């Protein structure tokens, strides 16, 4: 008697189709030299038995699984979280599973332990969402024979990389405020060791300089509404502050609250622009003008680079830049 419900293997298919298991393998991998008629017979047998190849066996012999490892910081921040689900979706569409390796901090030891875990699983490729500079040294250790794509990583690293054009986004936001008639624009940035923050700071500063506007001192914070609130309490006290560009929407939320408490009306007295376009941004008080990043595009581009590396050995260290888009709502007005 058969073992109950043992799932069928390649030889079972082969027997049913009257061929060798190797031919079944060829059909599965779309090898050219298989007669059309046999191909059809094999396909029929596969369907009849509801056969599904054993990934472990394949991984063993090829030394590579159908699994893509993602290294990301453990975070419920909107940006990173969106990035992850978008990537997972893209990978699934291409027939890959995604193994996530969250890490509390992007420091050397955490990263290399997660990378090791992924390499244990013989991942087909790695995606690293390395949004801070401190990650760089740990990432240098990744062996060069496994395909890697960075997202939001160091633009100078020379590794395949996909980023949102933070500089352009910040320029658009700053320019939008200057165009409304403001003398200058204050900026509350994210942590300065994040590449995102650095790009946004750069875009903001350059735009002011090009417009001949004075560059006010930079306020930097983490990404939280809490720190936005603290910065906002300070800014609200300064009557010369009429325009604020924040590095993300949550910071903007904190600032809106601080301004509100201090009785400074937005957008009548003070204008605010955020970054990210979180789903709630349209429901802040007032609805927030912000910069939207196309995470889906980034994810798909990253997957494309990865698949490219997996196919060809030609490792062209491409750098894809995805443009962001200004979303205009009601938090910007003309100065009094």
* Sites of contact with DNA (CB under 7 A): 6-7, 9-11, 18-23, 25-26, 28-29, 32-35, 37-38, 53-54, 57-58, 60-63
Question: Which H or E run contains 149?
Answer: strand 148-151
117 binds, among DNA, a second copy, none (CB under 5 to 8 A by kind): a second copy
Q: Which residue has the tokens 């009257």?
A: 18
- Please enumerate in sequence order all residues whose Cβ is within 8 A of that of 207, keeping only pairs 6 or more positions apart, or say none: 170, 171, 174, 175, 178
Provide, rounded to whole angstroms, the least separation between the CB of residue 143 and DNA. Answer: 15
Provide, rounded to whole angstroms, the least separation between the CB of residue 281 and a second copy. Answer: 9
- Please enumerate in sequence order all residues whose Cβ is within 8 A of that of 299, keeping only pairs 6 or more positions apart, or say none: 83, 86, 87, 89, 90
254 binds, among DNA, a second copy, none (CB under 5 to 8 A by kind): a second copy
Q: Which residue has the tokens 């650095």?
A: 198
Here the tokens at position 224 are 């939280």
Q: Binders of a second copy among 281-300, rule CB under 8 A?
A: 282-285
> What does the alpha-carbon distance between residue 249 and residue 166 come to, in Å, rounded to a whole number?
15
- Please enumerate in sequence order all residues whose Cβ is within 8 A of that of 144, keeping only pairs 6 or more positions apart, or say none: none
323 binds, among a second copy, DNA, none (CB under 5 to 8 A by kind): none
With binding defined as CB under 8 A, does residue 171 bind a second copy? no
With binding defined as CB under 8 A, does residue 89 bind a second copy? yes
Contact 122, 63 (CB under 8 A): yes
> What does the alpha-carbon distance between residue 315 and residue 309 come to, in Å, rounded to a whole number?
6
Provide, rounded to whole angstroms, the least separation between the CB of residue 142 and DNA. Answer: 20
Here the tokens at position 262 are 């201090």
Nearer to DNA, 65 or 197 (CB): 65
Applying CB under 8 A, among 224, 297, 315, 321 the residue interacting with a second copy is 224
Applying CB under 8 A, among 22, 48, 55, 210 the residue interacting with a second copy is 55
With binding defined as CB under 8 A, does residue 101 bind a second copy? yes
191 binds, among DNA, a second copy, none (CB under 5 to 8 A by kind): none
Judged by CB under 8 A, which stretch of 94-102, 161-169, 200-208, 262-270 contacts a second copy?
94-102
Provide, rounded to whole angstroms, the least separation between the CB of residue 59 and DNA. Answer: 8
Nearer to DNA, 62 or 109 (CB): 62
> What does the alpha-carbon distance between residue 103 and residue 128 come to, in Å, rounded to a whole number?
11
With binding defined as CB under 8 A, does residue 315 bind a second copy? no
Provide, rounded to whole angstroms, the least separation between the CB of residue 12 and DNA. Answer: 8
- Strand bridging mode 319-322 / 161-164: parallel
CB burial string 177-214: b at 16+ within 10 A, e below: bbebebebbbbbbbbeebbbbbbbbebbbebbeeeebe
How far is Cα of residue 19 from the mean position of the Cα atoms in its chain? 46
Comparing C-alpha atoms, which of 77, 186, 85, 168 is closest to residue 131?
77
With binding defined as CB under 8 A, does residue 52 bind a second copy? yes
With binding defined as CB under 8 A, does residue 85 bind a second copy? yes
Q: How many CB atoms are closer than 10 A to CB 23?
A: 22
Nearer to a second copy, 142 or 198 (CB): 142
- Strand bridging mode 148-151 / 125-129: parallel
153 binds, among a second copy, DNA, none (CB under 5 to 8 A by kind): none
Provide, rounded to whole angstroms, the least separation between the CB of residue 42 and DNA. Answer: 9
* Footprint on this chain of a second copy (rule: CB under 8 A): 5, 52-57, 59-60, 65-67, 74-76, 78, 81-82, 84-85, 88-89, 92, 97-102, 104, 114, 116-122, 143, 145, 224-226, 228-229, 250, 253-254, 256-257, 260-261, 279-280, 282-285
């Amino acid at each position: 008697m058969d073992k109950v419900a043992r799932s069928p293997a390649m030889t079972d298919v082969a027997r049913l189709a009257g061929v060798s298991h190797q031919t079944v393998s060829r059909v599965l991998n779309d090898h050219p030299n298989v007669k059309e008629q046999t191909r059809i017979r094999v396909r029929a047998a596969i369907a009849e038995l509801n056969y599904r190849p054993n990934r472990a066996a394949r991984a063993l012999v090829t030394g590579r699984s159908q699994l893509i490892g993602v290294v990301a910081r453990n975070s419920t921040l909107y940006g990173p979280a969106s990035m992850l689900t978008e990537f997972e979706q893209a990978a699934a569409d291409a027939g890959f599973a995604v193994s996530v390796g969250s890490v509390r901090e992007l420091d050397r030891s955490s990263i290399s332990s997660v990378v090791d875990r992924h390499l244990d699983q013989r991942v087909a490729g790695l995606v690293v969402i390395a949004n801070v500079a401190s990650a760089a040294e740990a990432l240098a250790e990744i062996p060069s024979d496994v395909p890697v794509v960075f997202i939001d990583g160091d633009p100078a690293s020379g590794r395949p990389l996909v980023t949102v054009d933070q500089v352009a986004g910040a320029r658009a936001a700053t320019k939008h405020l200057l165009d409304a008639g403001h003398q200058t624009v204050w900026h509350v940035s994210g942590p300065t060791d994040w590449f995102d923050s650095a790009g946004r700071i750069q875009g903001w500063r350059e735009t002011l300089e090009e417009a001949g506007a004075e560059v006010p001192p930079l306020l930097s914070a983490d990404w939280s509404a809490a720190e936005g609130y603290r910065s906002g309490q300070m800014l609200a006290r300064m009557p010369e502050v009429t325009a604020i560009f924040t590095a993300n929407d949550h910071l903007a939320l904190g600032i809106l609250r601080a301004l509100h408490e201090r009785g400074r009306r937005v957008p009548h007295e003070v204008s605010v622009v955020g970054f990210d376009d979180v789903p709630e941004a349209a429901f802040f008080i007032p609805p927030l003008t912000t910069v939207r990043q196309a995470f889906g595009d980034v994810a798909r581009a990253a997957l494309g680079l990865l698949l490219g590396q997996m196919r060809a050995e030609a490792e062209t260290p491409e750098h894809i830049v995805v443009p962001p888009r200004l979303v205009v709502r009601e938090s910007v007005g003309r100065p009094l």
